[in-house]
């Protein structure tokens, strides 16, 4: 992959170059972080811009997956996606809503407004915080996207897969704006 050097780490960090990471007794390696970053940053953004769910579907553990979300209107927690099929449909809905914009522009916008803020790996489990904060072209013009998602990952047979997430959370300073 061309993103294994400093350029990749800088792109992975997001637009301001800040990135933090948690280490548990040296158990995780840069390779683990690179694999996770490639999945949750590079591959996700490229597939989203192309509205190509098949490019990322294999990054999920279908039998273990569940997605939790806060209902923005009521402030209550819910099991938003009890299975991967439902999440895949919503992911495609959101990706298609941006299809009036050139894919290269979507990639550029999402890279500039999102970042992997933290990766914590312990053994074969990982917790990743991804943040969004910035403007992107939406279905009705420019929209401000601002939220935090925590991803849960598991490594099986040497491969990291997403087992779930808690998404659409306010940023640490309390801001929230979703598509």
Judged against a pLDDT cut of 70, whether residue 4 lies above it is answered with no
pLDDT band at 2 (very low <50, low <70, confident <90, very high): very low
- Is the pLDDT at 27 greater than 90? The verdict is no
- When mean pLDDT is compared over 9-23, 86-100, 131-145, the highest value belongs to 86-100
pLDDT of residue 40: 96
- pLDDT of residue 22 exceeding 80, the answer is no
Q: Is residue 120's pLDDT more than 70?
A: yes
- Tell me the HSE value of 136 on the side-chain side, using a 13 A CA sphere: 32
Q: Which residue has better confidence, 64 or 8?
A: 64
Tokens of 33: 């972080």
- Encoding tokens for residue 92? 């495609």
What local confidence, expressed as pLDDT, does residue 60 receive?
98
Q: Which pLDDT does position 179 carry in this prediction?
A: 64
In whole angstroms, give the CA distance from residue 132 to residue 122. Answer: 25
In contact, 42 and 49? CB cutoff 8 Å: no
Is the full-model pTM beyond 0.85?
Answer: no
pLDDT band at residue 176 under the 50/70/90 scheme: confident
- How deeply is 76 buried, as exposed, middle or buried, from its count of CB atoms within 10 A (0-12, 13-18, 19+)? exposed
Q: Give the pLDDT confidence of 90-109 residue by residue, as tens digits.
A: 999 989 988 888 899 999 99
Res. 43: pLDDT tops 50: yes
**Other CB atoms within 10 Å distance of the CB of residue 113:** 18
> How many angstroms separate the CA atoms of 177 and 132, rounded?
9
Cβ atoms of 171 and 131 closer than 8 Å: yes
Can you give the pLDDT at residue 9?
31
Residues 6+ away with beta carbon under 8 Å from 169: 70, 147, 148, 149, 150, 176
């Amino acid at each position: 992959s061309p993103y294994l050097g400093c350029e990749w780490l800088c792109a992975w960090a997001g637009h301001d170059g800040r990135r933090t990471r948690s280490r548990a007794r040296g158990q995780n390696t840069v390779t683990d972080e690179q694999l996770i970053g490639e999945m949750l940053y590079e591959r996700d953004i490229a597939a989203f811009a192309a509205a190509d769910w098949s490019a990322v579907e294999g990054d999920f553990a279908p039998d273990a997956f569940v997605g939790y979300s806060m209902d923005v209107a009521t402030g209550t927690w819910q099991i938003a996606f009890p299975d991967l099929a439902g999440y895949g449909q919503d992911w495609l809905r959101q990706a298609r809503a941006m299809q009036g914009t050139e894919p290269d522009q979507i990639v550029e916008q999402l890279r500039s407004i999102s970042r992997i803020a933290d990766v914590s790996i312990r053994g074969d489990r990982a917790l990743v915080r991804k943040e969004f904060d910035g403007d992107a072209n939406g279905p009705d013009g420019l929209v401000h996207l601002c939220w935090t998602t925590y991803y849960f990952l598991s490594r099986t047979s040497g491969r990291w897969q997403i087992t779930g997430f808690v998404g659409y959370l306010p940023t640490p300073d309390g801001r929230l704006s979703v598509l």
